Structure 1
Amino acid sequence: MYFEDYHIGQTFSVKPISLSAEEIIAFAEPYDPRPFHLSEEAAQKTRFKGLIASGFHTLTAAWSAWVKSDINKDGTICGIGIDHLRWTAPVYAGDTLQSQLTIIAKKASASGHSGTITCLYETQNQHHEKVLSFEGLVLVACRPC
């Protein structure tokens, strides 16, 4: 999709994802080595009572579902920022995550060759509990002439 194809209020759902215990641990070892991300046994002794994904793992996995979709394959130039990032509930090994993206703003560049879209990205688990939300800013090309 190109800049002209996006409209404020437009929503998209992406393919559900799930994070296994092995994936959670593999991400946590180099990037967020806290006991509740590294070991089910250690996690049982915490307030979470089970192995949970790093918030940054949840963020990158959820964003990956959007990037891998066919929705934005043509016009996306690059991501340029994230605002208002919130992790609102833990993500446990085996949770199924469903994300929805809503276009909340768009602004054409002065050059007329591209524009910025702002999207509200919200992710819920299989219990319809919101686990992640943020506003992503994406630079998108205008449709070629």
Structure 2
Amino acid sequence: MVYFEDIAIGDGFDFGPLTVSREETVAFAAEFDPQPFHLSDEAAAQTHFGTLSASGWHTTALFMKMFVAEMQRQPGRQAASLGAMGVDELRWLRPLRPGDALHGRSEVIDKKASQSRPEMGIVRSKVTIFNQDDKPILTMIPIAMWRTRPAGL
């Protein structure tokens, strides 16, 4: 298992790839963010987007899908993860377009032991999601909780 104590500032890993389809872009928007520029090229053509673009929330959900898939490939890491407390500095830098192939990078930027919960520590990471041209489309800083090493291990 990868405990809080095993994580160092600067540690990082890559995740993905994942390609987003037009159908899933429209389906997500229809259910969760039904703004016209997320639903049709015609409506998007009347905006600064120009063509259909995914909801930023869809982009964020795709980050989670790729990130968890990578965590599941590293069972010791996933077993020590206790969820997240939130996200700082979420930025959508470019539109996600149907057909874009995403990949990401997560790098630890800060960590501290919990003052009130000795069984966990807090890890902040800088996450960047890139498109197929290696242009960043999303950045954020998740605040994750990690299991500390039990006494005697």
- What is the TM-score normalised by the length of structure 1? 0.93
Partners of 1:143 and 1:58 in 2: how far apart? 34
Q: 2:118 aligns with which of 99, 105, 112?
A: 112
CA offset at residue 40 of structure 1? 2.3
TM-score normalised by length of structure 2: 0.88
Aligned to 1:66: 67
- The answer on 1:79 being equivalent to 2:80 is no
Q: Which moved more, 1:110-119 or 1:130-139?
A: 110-119
In the aligned structure 1, how far is the partner of 2:91 from the partner of 2:16? Answer: 21
> In 1, distance between residues paired with 2:63 and 2:113?
27
- What runs of 5+ residues in structure 2 fail to find an aligned partner? none
SS in 2 for 1:74: helix
Identity of paired residues, percent?
Answer: 37
Q: CA RMSD in A?
A: 1.3
Equivalent position of 2:97 in the other structure: 92
Worse overlay, 7-16 or 39-48: 39-48
C-alpha displacement of 1:134: 0.5
Corresponding letter in the other structure for 1:29: A
Taking the aligned partners of 1:55 and 1:89, their CA distance within structure 2 comes to 9
Greater helix percent: which structure? 2
The answer to whether 1:103 aligns with 2:108 is: yes
Give the unaligned 5+ runs of structure 1.
none
Q: Detail structure 1 runs of 4+ shifted over 6 Å in the superposition.
A: none
Q: How many residues align?
A: 145
Q: How does 1:1-16 map to 2 (within 5 A)?
A: 1-16=2-17
